[in-house]
Amino acid sequence: MAHEPFVLSNARLVLADHVVENAWIALDGGKIAEIGEGRAPDRAEDIGGDYVVPGLVELHTDHLEAHVMPRPGVRWDPVAAVMSYDAQLSTCGITTVLDSLRVWREDGAQELGGEAAALADAVATARASGMLRADHYLHLRCEVPMPDVVAEASALIGRPDVRLMSLMDHTPGQRQFRDQSKLREYYRGKSGGMTDAALDVLFDKRREYSRRHAADNYRDLVALARRHGTPLASHDDTTHEHVAQSIEDGVAIAEFPTTVAAAEGLHAAGVSVLMGAPNLVRGASHSGNVATADLARAGLLDVLSSDYVPASLLLAAMALPRVAPAIALPAAIRTITKTPAAAVGLTDRGEIADGKRADLVRIRVCRDLPVVVSVWREGRRVA
């Protein structure tokens, strides 16, 4: 996939720990060959002082599902959906993505579910056909209380593109949805306007699933991930008990802890705390939990995720130095590049340094908003 050698000059290069003004960067063989300051080699492309950052790395986005089911009850061709989704990610500067696939089916909820294998196959088909701009891996989102989740995860985890498994529990009344009214709002928005009576039935079923299956499924999923060497992510840790369990299980990433106390315990144990970029852009959690900005100001934020809005990833990272003044721009960019890449073992990318993959994003700031001008993956322009 490598492109011909070329040089960008008059750039503001955002390295892992500082910004190099009036810099140049040479790409060759799909890798970063050399960087320097001042006068660039001949025939360099002058980019007019724009920022150049590493290609963005996204660990948790379920946005593919919005392309497969663009409206309730409307299904799109899965390979065509993958292509549309991939194009959107790339134009947002994302060059590496873990496509989050929900590994469960839920009767009574009119939304996409139980189709992880079909979507994984669609991603593989698009990849093998050379249709994709970004580098795609898989993230298995396992809803722990669901009766068949262990069998479904077992059927998928042996795929070579699986890079992460998250352990989720959205049982009404706990974790993300301690406030059950927020869960009702969520289902009304995503499931075609379910009535309160229908939601009562659904919630009772979810609580029964939790009582009957959660403990055994949790144990079996942790064991499954360990057997395959797949990094684990916890999800919506809230209590001291949740934090202690995540640490005991050796999770690499804590997705969306709901309280400052949970984030403190996880961060202190060396677990990478991942929070939503939309939360930071909006200024609050849509579920009423802790704000990303509060964790950033407390020094507890390690990774940002675009979650359901791909464009929010870069918006949030570029806003971090304003929201949390102790976070300089290089540290902010690390939350969407180097740190998430390292968390899932992708050490060949995520920073601008000699020998790293030439995954780069050219950014121009207009009216305080970052605009993606160009994107390269392995030295080849993809957007």
User: One-letter amino acid identity for 126?
Assistant: A
Q: What is the pLDDT of residues 146-177, one digit of tens each?
A: 999 999 999 999 999 999 999 999 777 565 55
Where does 1-54+349-383 sit in CATH, by number? 2.30.40.10
Q: What is the pLDDT of residues 46-105, one digit of tens each?
A: 999 999 999 999 999 988 988 998 887 788 999 999 999 999 999 999 999 999 999 977
Domain segments of the chain: what residues? 1-54+349-383, 56-348
pLDDT number for residue 73: 78
Given a cut of 80, whether residue 234 has pLDDT beyond it is yes
Fold of 56-348: TIM Barrel (3.20.20)
**Angle formed by the axes of helices 78-91 and 116-128, nearest 10°:** 70
Q: What is the pLDDT of residues 101-119, one digit of tens each?
A: 999 776 555 555 668 999 9
